[in-house]
Chain A
Amino acid sequence: MKLLERILKYQIITSLCVLTLGAVLFYLSVDYLIDREVNKELMRSKAKVSWQLRHIDELPVYILQLGDSLQLDQVRYPGQMAIVERKLFNEFENEYQPYRQLIFYERVEGAWYRVTISKLLAQRKQLLEAVVMTVTFIVALLLISLLLLNSWLSRRLWRPFYKTLRALDSYQVEQHEVLTFPKSHTVEFEQLNLSVTQFTDRLAATYQNLKEFTENASHEIQTPLAVILSKIEGLFQDESLKESQLVALSEISEAANRLAKLNQALLLLTKIENRQFLAGTEPISLVPIINRKLRDLEDLIEQREITVKTDIEPTGPVMHPALAEVLVNNLLTNAIRYNVNGGAIEITLNAGKLVVRNTGAPIHIEPELMFERFRKEGTHSASLGLGLALAKTICQVNGQTLTYETDGPWHILTVTW
């Protein structure tokens, strides 16, 4: 829910509460005033009636207001004066209506009479109607003006905020970009923009540092490794070396090679995680990449008597071509490395989905755990244990999902985008 909508929600709830409470108070106070007025009128009528009864033999009809009525009953003993409310049948309206009655006793020519003055309380109903209508009208007016104000505010006042939001949304740290904004007249937005500018400034600097560090680290580690490997290779040419020494040297060489590969793979992983590869701009077809890779691996596939079945359409996700290459490479080499001799590989590529299925030995852990770095099942010492971690990271930074399932002898890796 938008901030303005939330504010509007609370504004509406508050106004409705206040208005209802106000209406009740208004009703009660006016009702009280009318009540007092009715009583006063009844007392005035009483005074008139009493005076008439004492001084005139006959009561004139006009002393009471229209709609009111006067009733005289002879009684034996007088009672207390009382004011009561009751519903009486109104012949004009043909329904029961509320009346207020003043009952008092008067002595005329030795006999007691009970006098009842009834007064129609029609005002109360009218009042209620008037109050409800006014309040409804005010509520409607308030809602409309609030909505109008709201949309106006969101268009005018919040414009710089939405602008900042859009800029942040499309912000890419890889571009080394520092976001700057035109001056805003609102203090809060001005502060926000200033913070965003400073923040992206720091971010760009930090990112640049990190990138340089990664590259320098690569350089610093690769160079001594290059020295080690070149010295070993030089030593191999020394014909005075004994066989056992050559074997030891060969093992050193293998280990150093492995270290170099490990370093390269980790650096690639770090680079991808740091998003040093720009996002792709258009979908790239994975078909040529898959075909090229299969051709490169052709003799390996043949040697292990693996059957490859492909069902591929020219499609692919939006991503950096170099990363697409690494992804396909890792999935296919993985499918070959962990395959069994005489096994099979099935590659399916269609809109939004790349599935690589291969036969292989069963794994004894959760398939998803295979995405962890250095996680290996079995004793494939030649493997670095980084292939699937690399594939997973590539998918993550490109907004794709990579899943690993097993189905009997089949290992199924699926990339969806």
Chain B
Amino acid sequence: MKLLLIEDEKALATSIQNYFQRENFICEWAADYRTAVDKINIYRYDCVLVDLMLPDGDGLDAVRELKRNFPETGIIIISAKNSLDDRITGLNLGSDDYLTKPFHLSELNARVQAVIRRRSFQGSQQIRFGKIQIDPQEHLVLVDQQEIVLTRKEYDLLVYLIANKNRVLTKESIAEHLWGDDADLMDNFDFIYTHIKNLRKKLMDKGCPDYLKSIYGVGYKFSEQ
């Protein structure tokens, strides 16, 4: 998978690049509008991450350029602008998602994977991890071909965990992924624990090994070993 990151903040760009390299993605970086347009017109990308405020141009122009020439490329806007206008303009122009800075890298990762999955028409849209197989269109979860019934939150949690497999996920990032702005309604993260516990139990009941590890004081990690 090949990504292009259009972002003028070097420190943030390196973090994002490092994160996706661990995912075995090729993540190229353009620090300004001119470089970004050059790269867009030479190479093909599966997904492009665009910051709206660039030193020499508007990220929305890059989105337009992409849509005109390569409509099949996934686009995610990452912006510090949280205004409704920008959000609507961005989505109307055909970007697939809009993420407001600051964000959790794990959240960005999950969204990039969702975009790529939605756009890969020829390839399989199934999510596979160990014994687990998920059909995102049907919201169907199978373990060893047996269906398990999950609540909406448990399903979201599982997809998020798999998207960020082999990584330490903080409780905050999980809470925010599941509850958005309402995440701060929880005075402690016991609540996440309830969902984690239920999910783990349902998976193990169907013969899954215990993929979920708790990392003390931090959060959880979903991995095969």
Contact = CB atoms under 8 A, between A and B. Distances in A.
A52 interface: no
A230 B80 contact: no
A226 B184 contact: no
A236 B9 contact: no
Given A303-B194, A382-B184, A230 B217 contact: no
B89 to A, nearest CB: 14
B102 A229 contact: yes
Nearest to A256: B102
A223 interface: yes
Contacts of B187: 337, 380-382
A233 B216 contact: no
A305 to B, nearest CB: 13
Interface of A: 215, 218-219, 222-223, 225-231, 233-234, 236-237, 243, 246-247, 249-250, 253-254, 256-257, 260-261, 264, 267-268, 271, 296-297, 299-300, 303, 322, 329, 333, 336-337, 380-384
Q: Which of B9, B105, B186 has the most CB of A within 10 A?
A: B105
* B interface bracket (residues with beta carbon within 8 Å of A): 35 or more
B12 interface: yes
A217 to B, nearest CB: 10
Nearest to A218: B80
A176 to B, nearest CB: 14
Nearest to A234: B15
Given A219-B80, A253-B170, A227 B12 contact: yes
A253 B170 CA distance: 9
Interface in B188-225: 191, 194, 215-219
B218 A250 contact: yes
Q: Is the interface of A mostly helix, strand, loop or mixed?
A: helix
B42 interface: no
A226 B167 contact: no
A336 B186 CA distance: 10
A237 B9 contact: no
Contact of A227 (B15, B172, B179, B216): B15
Contact of A250 (B179, B186, B217): B217
Contacts of A231: 11, 15
A249 B171 CA distance: 13
Nearest to A238: B168
Nearest to A214: B83
B172 A234 contact: no
A177 B125 CA distance: 51
Contacts of B170: 233, 236, 250, 253
B174 to A, nearest CB: 12
B56 interface: no
Given A237-B167, A297-B182, A243 B216 contact: yes
